[in-house]
Amino acid sequence: MRPLTEEETRVMFEKIAKYIGENLQLLVDRPDGTYCFRLHNDRVYYVSEKILKLAANISGDKLVSLGTCFGKFTKTHKFRLHITALDYVAPYAKYKVWIKPGAEQSFLYGNHVLKSGLGRITENTSQYQGVVVYSMADIPLGFGVAAKSTQDCRKVDPMAIVVFHQADIGEYVRHEETLT
């Protein structure tokens, strides 16, 4: 378990900033204590400094995980956000998409969101902007990337993709053996 290098921090913060923008500072400086990001086995963990000090007594090879897994670095050194970060990213999301109840199951099975399943979208969402996908009952379901801007969504045909799937809460069931 080690702190992230400058390059790793920059890559990770750029990815998270796609979803929450300048609210990134709110993740680190929280009212309930100071939190930090640590790297362990190519995975980035979000952990309070209080728990980090307690974990210093455990050797690195015996440590499985610590805190919440925010994502992992791929072999090409790109950062991939995991669904386990949804609870921390969703409250600060700048751009949101709400999908209709009929499209929820399709999204939770890993499919993209079509225009016919789109309930609402945040105004001024640009194309390829990171979005958090919600149900119509305001329950966060996952992450995505806007395939079309808000203005383009109004005039596109119903079978066009409006949000590219990135991660969803259905991954807890589909990939439970690999999520840590």
Structure confidence at residue 180 as a pLDDT band (50, 70, 90): low
pLDDT at 21: 86
**Are 79 and 71 a contacting pair, CB within 8 Å?**
yes
In tens, the pLDDT along 56-69 reads: 888 777 777 788 99
pLDDT at 164 over 70: yes
In tens, the pLDDT along 90-126 reads: 999 999 999 999 999 999 998 999 999 999 999 999 9
| Of 90, 88, 99, the residue nearest 44 (C-alpha) | 88
Q: How far is CA 99 from CA 16, 139, 165, in A?
A: 22, 10, 13
DSSP-derived pairing of the beta strands 130-135 and 161-168: unpaired
Pair of tokens at residue 127: 């194309």
pLDDT at 172 over 80: no
| Average pLDDT of the chain, as a whole number | 89
